[in-house]
Each structure stands twice: as structure tokens, then as C-alpha cells.
Amino acid sequence: MLPQKHLEVLQKIYNKLNGTNINWVITGSTAFIIQGIPLKPNDIDIQTDKEGAYQIEECFKEFIKKKVCLSSNGKISSHFGCLEIDGIKVEIMGDIQKNINGIWEEPVNLERYKRYITIRDMKLPVLDLEYEYEAYLKMGRIEKAMLLKEWISNK
């Protein structure tokens, strides 16, 4: 179950982004929790495309902690920025690309893997757990990938 504070911040995000033309999804621990996986949320991750990252930043400009800019650690690249809304860290990632064995993958087609979970009258976009499993495997985040695989197998 998501803590009340996270739910309130999700509501603020949803209220601003719902009905816009921004292509976005909730991902990471928060997305896993709202899909039933018992975890403790760290932050709220929003995945979008390049344009969406800058549009989301504009929607929440009063909460900017780190302005969106192209960022890479050699393994992953995105238009990355960070917000802080009511004490909750919100990361924005646009056009994420993964470096797999020296080859940069194309950014994921969010529409292809987008699913909706209804929680408190919000129809929240999340990524399909099978896709998330594959993505975590590719990034070498084996522990999280195995957690997802186990959850998917038991459903």
C-alpha cells in the first residue's frame, strides 16, 4: 500500500497531467506498489519522451530541484530532472535509452507498454510488468528483475 503522502503527491501529478497531450507513465517502486507488489516506495518516477520531460518540468516549475537536461552515466541516458513535491522526490526521465553491450537502444515506445491502474478515482498510466522485468534485466538490476519475475509468475 502506498503511503498517504505519496498518494497525495500522485494526485497532484495526475491532476496536472491528466487530459494533457503529454505521454507519461509512473514507473519504478511506486508503479510496482500500485500494481500490488508489496514494496516500500523511495520516490515517484515519471517516464516520458523528450518533449514531455520539459513540459512536465514547466507544469511543476515551483517544485524544481534539478532542471531537466540530457544526462548519462554511460549505461543509461535520458532527459532527466528532479522535483520535490511536499517532501517527496519526483524524478522525470524523458526518452530513456539503455546502453546494452556498447549499443544504445532506441527509447521505449511508451504507448506500446502502457497500462492503466485505477486508484482513488485516478486512472494512472504504468508500464507493463513484463516490460519492466526485461528492462531491469538489461540494466543489470537483477534483484529487482527477479522480484518482478516472481510476482508475474505468481499472478
Q: Would you list the domain boundaries of the chain? A: 4-150
C-alpha dihedral (82, 42, 88, 134), degrees to nearest 10: 50
The pLDDT value recorded for residue 71 is 96
Q: Under CATH, what is the fold of the domain 4-150?
A: Beta Polymerase; domain 2 (3.30.460)
In the numeric block, the cell 514531455 is attached to: 52
The pLDDT value recorded for residue 14 is 98
Contact 120, 132 (CB under 8 A): no
**Grid coordinates given for 87:** 517532501
φ and ψ at 112, to 5 degrees?
-65, -35
The pLDDT value recorded for residue 136 is 87
pTM of the shown model: 0.92
pLDDT averages per 10-residue partition of the chain, 155 residues: 94 96 95 92 95 98 98 93 98 94 91 95 95 87 90 85
Q: How many CA atoms lie within 13 A of 100 on its CB side?
A: 14
The pLDDT value recorded for residue 18 is 95
Rounded Cα distance between 66 and 70, Å, is 12
